[in-house]
């Protein structure tokens, strides 16, 4: 089954940025890079059944959405700097509401959260990951459709963003008894899904 | 309970390195930085009950060991570049067989694998993480002592390293049905331990 992950980067900049300051002037782009790495990479390989979506809401031209398609990605390493370089390249493209290809497997558009979810709800069951949700360990036993998991960055989702997500989400799921970083949540989702489908 | 993590960096350099080439000339220092990040950080905080050990075996002065003590760490962010900067600072210190403090919570010495394990076996049950081991989900139910988990980098452990580790390890444990990166294994160990002790 396919797996999708979407993160909202509330401060992530929408123009090319310095690779030497991902956590600062790039608006916590480091969080998004780690999110991508944990969604796509296993040891010595990439998960072909994964799509990653980033919603960038930082200055100067929000919103911008980036899509990364695991089965198309060719030149990506799991370190933050390498992934950031690919995002920076995508941000150099003049974009509109349609997906435009930047490098292999990486696309960019001007979609906002609602437009992204309108597109994704046809192909995925939308799942909102939040600490107060139901235990993922029970949830994975009942999955009958490809799921897209939505997470916030270090700031979480705003009330308005959460309202939109809840309009589309059929489930609110928790991955841990303690509050974790977004990329750690992705590792746990993969782990529980791997166990339920491979073991 | 306390938790320890040790990674063997077979190519990780033992001198100060460029922060702009962690995955290249620094000998996959990016892997070690992500390992530290996933061992120490949760959302908006550091796990105080964690110690991380790095064994650096790259040129020009192997071995060097670095120890990071969660409850003492003051100035660290989870991005690779920030953590790499702290490791680089430690590598500027002239070191011997005793731990020398570099910055808050970060120590360096000239210990090799056997000397590290001789020191750690007094305080921890030594657990070797390997794909062919027993399922972690059963293991966490029986833990009665602080555990130190040992992992290889992208090259894994050599036969000689594995022989030494197995002399000290009371268990060989697997964290996933598929082969994962070292930092992903750390996330899963924390997750299973969190569930078994907090839920």
Can you tell me the ipTM of this complex?
Answer: 0.97
Cβ-based contacts of A185 with chain B (< 8 Å):
none
A42–B178 CB contact, under 8 Å = yes
Beta-carbon contacts of residue A84 (< 8 Å; ≥ 6 apart): A17, A19, A22, A26, A29, A30, A33
Mean pLDDT to the nearest integer, B101-130: 98
Maximum alpha-carbon separation in chain B? 47
Segment B108-112 long-range contacts (CB within 8 Å, at least 24 positions apart): B108/B64, B108/B65, B108/B66, B108/B67, B109/B64, B109/B65, B109/B67, B110/B63, B110/B64, B110/B65, B111/B55, B111/B63, B111/B65, B112/B55, B112/B63, B112/B65
Q: How far, in Å, CA of B46 to CA of A138, rounded?
A: 28
CA distances from B117 to B1, B6, B189 (A): 19, 10, 20
pLDDT confidence of A199, banded at 50, 70, 90? low
Mean pLDDT to the nearest integer, A117-130: 97
Q: How far, in Å, CA of A128 to CA of B55, rounded?
A: 39
Residue A153: predicted pLDDT: 92
Strands (E), chain A: 3-9, 41-42, 45-46, 50-56, 64-69, 100-103, 106-109, 125-135, 147-152, 171-174
Residue A197: predicted pLDDT: 84
- The pLDDT tens digits for A58-96 are 999 999 999 999 999 999 999 999 999 999 999 999 999
CA A3, chain centre distance (Å): 11
Token duo for residue B5: 């993590």
pLDDT confidence of A177, banded at 50, 70, 90? confident
Q: Rounded to the nearest 5 degrees, what angle is found at the Cα of B36, between the Cα atoms of B172 and A39? A: 80
A43–B180 CB contact, under 8 Å = yes
Beta-carbon contacts of residue B90 (< 8 Å; ≥ 6 apart): B66, B102, B103, B106, B107, B108
Residue B23 parent element (H or E): none
Residue B120: predicted pLDDT: 98
- The pLDDT tens digits for B150-185 are 999 999 999 999 999 999 999 999 999 899 999 999
Q: Kindly give the pairing relationship between strand B100-103 and strand B45-46.
A: unpaired
Nearest to A42 among B20, B81, B180 (CB): B180
B43–A199 CB contact, under 8 Å = no
- The pLDDT tens digits for B52-80 are 999 999 999 999 999 999 999 999 999 99
Going B94 to B100 to B103 to B108, the CA torsion angle's sign is: positive
Interface list for A 1-60 with B (CB within 8 A): 19-20, 22-23, 30, 34, 37-38, 41-44
A79–B30 CB contact, under 8 Å = yes
Beta-carbon contacts of residue B147 (< 8 Å; ≥ 6 apart): B3, B4, B124, B125, B126, B127
pLDDT confidence of B197, banded at 50, 70, 90? confident
What's the whole-model pTM score? Answer: 0.97
- The pLDDT tens digits for A158-174 are 999 999 999 999 999 99
Chains A, B: CB contacts within 8 A come to 101
CA distances from B113 to A4, A188, B27 (A): 40, 30, 18
Residue A96: predicted pLDDT: 97
Say if B188 is an interface residue toward chain A (CB within 8 Å): yes
Mean pLDDT to the nearest integer, A16-35: 98
Q: How far, in Å, CA of A101 to CA of A109, rounded?
A: 9
Nearest to A77 among B23, B82, B199 (CB): B23
């Amino acid at each position: 089954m396919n797996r999708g992950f979407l993160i909202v980067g509330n401060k992530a900049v929408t123009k090319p940025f310095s690779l030497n300051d991902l956590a600062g002037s790039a608006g916590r782009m480091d969080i998004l890079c780690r999110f991508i790495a944990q969604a796509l990479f296993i040891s010595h390989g990439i998960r072909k059944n994964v799509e990653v979506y980033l919603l960038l809401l930082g200055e100067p031209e929000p919103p911008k959405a980036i899509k990364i398609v695991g089965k198309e990605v060719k030149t990506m390493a799991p370190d933050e700097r390498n992934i950031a370089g690919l995002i920076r390249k995508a941000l150099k493209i003049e974009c509109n509401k349609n997906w435009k290809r930047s490098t292999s497997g990486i696309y960019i558009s001007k979609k906002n959260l609602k437009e992204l979810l309108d597109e994704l709800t046809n192909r995925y069951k939308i799942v909102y990951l939040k600490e107060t949700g139901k235990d993922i360990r029970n949830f994975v036993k009942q999955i009958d459709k490809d799921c897209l998991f939505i997470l916030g960055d270090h700031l979480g989702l705003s009330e308005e963003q959460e309202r939109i997500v809840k309009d589309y989400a059929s489930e609110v799921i928790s991955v841990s008894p303690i509050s974790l970083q977004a990329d750690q949540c992705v590792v746990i989702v993969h782990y529980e899904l791997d166990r339920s489908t491979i073991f």
